Amino acid sequence: MAPALWSCLILVLFSGLVASGFPRSPFRPVGKRSLPEGVVDGIEVYSTKISCTVTSRFAHNVVTTRAVNRAEKAKEVSFDVELPKTAFITNFTLTIDGVTYPGNVKEKEVAKKQYEKAVSQGKTAGLVKASGRKLEKFTVSVNVAAGSKVTFELTYEELLKRHKGKYEMYLKVQPKQLVKHFEIEADIFEPQGISMLDAEASFITNDLLGSALTKSFSGKKGRVSFKPSLEQQRSCPTCTDSLLNGDFTITYDVNRESPANVQIVNGYFVHFFAPQGLPAVPKNVVFVIDISGSMTGRKIQQTREALLRILGDVKENDYLNFILFSSDVTTWKDSLVQATPENLQEARAFVRNIHSGGMTNINDGLLRAISMLNKAREEHKIPERSTSIVIMLTDGDANVGESRPEKIQENVRNAISGKFPLYNLGFGNNLNYNFLESMALENHGLARRIYEDSDADLQLQGFYEEVANPLLTNVEVDYPENAILDLTQNSYQHFYDGSEIVVAGRLLDEDLNSFKADVKGHGATNDLTFTEEVDVKEMEKALKEQEYIFGNYIERLWAYLTIEQLLDKRKNAYGEEKENLTAQALDLSLKYHFVTPLTSMVVTKPEDSEDQTAIADKPGEARSVAPSLAYLTNYQPPQTPYYYVDGDPHFIIQVSEKDDAICFNIDEDPGTVLRLIQDPVTGLTVNGQITGDKIASPDSQTRKTYFGKLGIANALMDLRIEVTTEKITLWNGAVQSTFSWLDTVTITQDGLSVTINRKKNMAVSFGDGVTFVVILHQVWKKHPDHHDFLGFYVVDSHRMSVQTHGLLGQFFHPFDFKVSDVHPGPDPTKPIATMAVKNHQLTVTRGSQKDYRKDASIGTKVVCWFVHNNGEGLIDGVHTDYIIPSLF
């Protein structure tokens, strides 16, 4: 039997703060070049490939890294990937020496328990670190045996959003060592045609990259490839470290000849809308600026600079005002004023003179802005066809005046009552971002973080640019009634120049011939309706001809968008509605295999769906420091188990022909030895000695007993193995070897292989066809009642003879039973039935036992028919026939 190759697997998803990249090994040798190039601390990462396929803004990215352990002992290999916060992981697989461990998306709760267990056992767990700007970090570490190869493959997907006239895709590149085959490859397919495409790396100028970087586009297709040779990766001609360290950014946009584009594949549609060339709608902007004491210093300085630049961008027919809040509220003007050159001049002087100090009165600052806008509208002081926006900037939590977040939200919601959007900018990390986000979302706006950094002023100005040019207001997207289902958000207060409205849904009738969509909105001078009509059949045909398309991209895009919007809505929902939204988002996350805040990625071992090994979580903005990982120890079960005994000795006989199991207990006094297996042909015997709890209960009905000692013998080999909860002793004839449960060791000799996995389990194989596994159950040393105990599993018995007997051995032969007359018992969860077996009619009860092969502390549930009275009628003879005087 193969020894355990990886003793632990840890999957973490960090909000990435630290720049990092791809596999790394913990140490870097200094000036040591005896090993082949690209080998660092014994680990050679020989290939890293990032493969991106973008179809209609929907990006599907696969990061694959291959490494080999060239060291003479097992080593930990880590795989770090930073991915956009807006992306959902959809798959992760780990392949070690050709065996693939696939990832599955599960509801978070399911995985959490295991995480807690791992933590309680003192295993290291990952933390969600403070958020980076756009990326979060995914880390996996795995222990790789000497000479073994490991492949990591991570897949994530996201819908690229258009900002300021382009789509941007960030890839963090940081291999940390030279990689023989390093490659980034992006294929973009856009049915509207690509109008521009660029790619650049922050760590080096494109000139120097030379032949390593190629980019091209033509018609609907674009392609970027970055393939630096080993020489090109060196930070200097004689260096052995990599210069690849930073962002690789791909930007592109599509042709805008038509304001809208509709795509339909397999009954799902997506509708992109971004009209060009419209005049901007005049806007009334009120900046609500926090000038409390905590803004003092660089923050207020940067705010002043940003506001000055913004004033440079304001258009003459816009109206504006500034409201400053600290403990009190002050305003620049009593009401909004037009952005005439004279007024802008005056505004600059006002901004330069902003000073900070005092507390944080968010409530009064916002309410003043809102009432000012409402009043201006009522009194017709602003243009009829204008639109209003409130932009609030704060760096802390409300702490004076009304400071209860819920109450502030309520006041603001009532005051705005849906008339215009509120944008909240959170400066730095020392604030309740959830509150800002929730308040913005419920007022048709959004929240942004402004990161405390030297470019904070540019971040602020950049945000303003995004909302500076509303081309349409009150945008409604309509489809023929009764033609569509499951529509994503289809009304927007604003369409901003440089952005895009995306609506997706499902067609009620897949055989629809023509599809019509209307987009209505108020422009600067008139109301507009854009109608888009498409021939469904023709379009599907055209789209399906494209080899670039991965089949169901529209359906996945729809699912992505729907989940994103459900999660946003959920932020402001309560009670039943929240549960409903959660249930819907969870359903879709599971169905489409997305790691969202409600799900976790669980890496499962082959052939077992219940055995969860590791988990990746997606952190929300909300959590500052929270564990996001689960971890479980190994043990690779080989084949289907057939027979085992574990716990209070519970014997489980799986009858694979029936896909069912039978179970029974043997209740005997501590010290009793039971014969489990005896085969006169192969000479194999296995016996087990019963142990009790620390304080023996006199009542045999309630007392707990376990196996404390096992004896495995092969008479033909003159071999004996005694396994206790402390140690394993081998006798080869008279020669004795002793091992502790603290060892990880494999013992092989002709016809025998014994592998002890430290503190976990031990596998014994007698050539091909006979394998037993012993599981060590360790309890807390000072546990008042329980001792450590053992479980015994027969995982392969096909070479044992038909003469095999014993409590387990007698079931190795083909064997049948019938269950009839199933009816409810006194415990409604445990039905009672009649079992016909070995010419007996037995009353049996449905129950369940646990299979602990994969994890001694959790176990996998196995349902079985329980035979009462020490297996009476099921086992040959009576149970006392199996009692023998000693272990060997």
Sites of contact with ligand NAG (CB under 6 A): 91, 93, 102, 153, 576-577, 580, 593
Roughly what angle, to the nearest 10 degrees, separates helices 553-570 and 575-592? 160
Nearer to ligand NAG, 137 or 556 (CB): 556
Nearer to ligand NAG, 24 or 570 (CB): 570
Nearer to ligand NAG, 9 or 808 (CB): 9
Q: Which of 442, 500, 476 is nearest to 57 (CA)?
A: 500
Roughly what angle, to the nearest 10 degrees, separates helices 433-442 and 405-416? 20
Nearer to ligand NAG, 102 or 246 (CB): 102
Q: Which residues pair with 427 in a beta bridge?
A: 450
* Residue at 111: amino acid letter: A
Q: Which three-class secondary structure state does DSSP give residue 407?
A: helix
Nearer to ligand NAG, 125 or 487 (CB): 487
Nearer to ligand NAG, 313 or 579 (CB): 579
Write down the least CB distance from residue 549 to ligand NAG, Å: 16
Q: Which of 191, 198, 228 is nearest to 210 (CA)?
A: 228
Nearer to ligand NAG, 197 or 601 (CB): 601
Write down the least CB distance from residue 183 to ligand NAG, Å: 17
Nearer to ligand NAG, 26 or 551 (CB): 551
Nearer to ligand NAG, 139 or 151 (CB): 151
Nearer to ligand NAG, 574 or 780 (CB): 574
Nearer to ligand NAG, 91 or 552 (CB): 91
* Strand-pair category, 629-633 with 735-740: unpaired
Q: Which of 53, 153, 58 is nearest to 556 (CA)?
A: 58
Write down the least CB distance from residue 87 to ligand NAG, Å: 15
Q: What is the DSSP letter of 328?
A: S
Full 3-state SS string of 507-534: ECCCCCCEEEEEEEEECCCCEEEEEEEE
Q: What are phi and psi of 445, to 5 degrees?
A: -115, -155
883 alpha carbon, distance to own chain's centre: 52
Count of other CB atoms within 10 angstroms of residue 127: 16
Q: Are 605 and 611 in contact (CB under 8 A)?
A: yes
Nearer to ligand NAG, 329 or 581 (CB): 581
Write down the least CB distance from residue 153 to ligand NAG, Å: 5
**Alpha carbon of 818 to those of 74, 662, 783: distances in Å?**
50, 11, 42
Instruction: Transcribe 624-683 into DSSP letters.
Output: SS-B-EEEEE-----S---EEEETTTEEEEEEGGGTEEEEEE----TT-EEEEEEETTTT
* Conformation bin of residue 406: beta by default, left when phi > 0, alpha when psi is -120 to 50: alpha
* Strand-pair category, 43-55 with 39-40: antiparallel
Write down the least CB distance from residue 440 to ligand NAG, Å: 23
Write down the least CB distance from residue 58 to ligand NAG, Å: 15
CA 320/CA 318 separation, integer angstroms: 7
Q: Are 690 and 700 in contact (CB under 8 A)?
A: no
CA 299/CA 302 separation, integer angstroms: 5
Q: What is the DSSP letter of 785?
A: S
Nearer to ligand NAG, 136 or 153 (CB): 153
Write down the least CB distance from residue 581 to ligand NAG, Å: 8
Write down the least CB distance from residue 589 to ligand NAG, Å: 13
CA 687/CA 678 separation, integer angstroms: 9
Terminal-to-terminal C-alpha distance of the chain = 25
Count of other CB atoms within 10 angstroms of residue 607: 11
Write down the least CB distance from residue 438 to ligand NAG, Å: 18
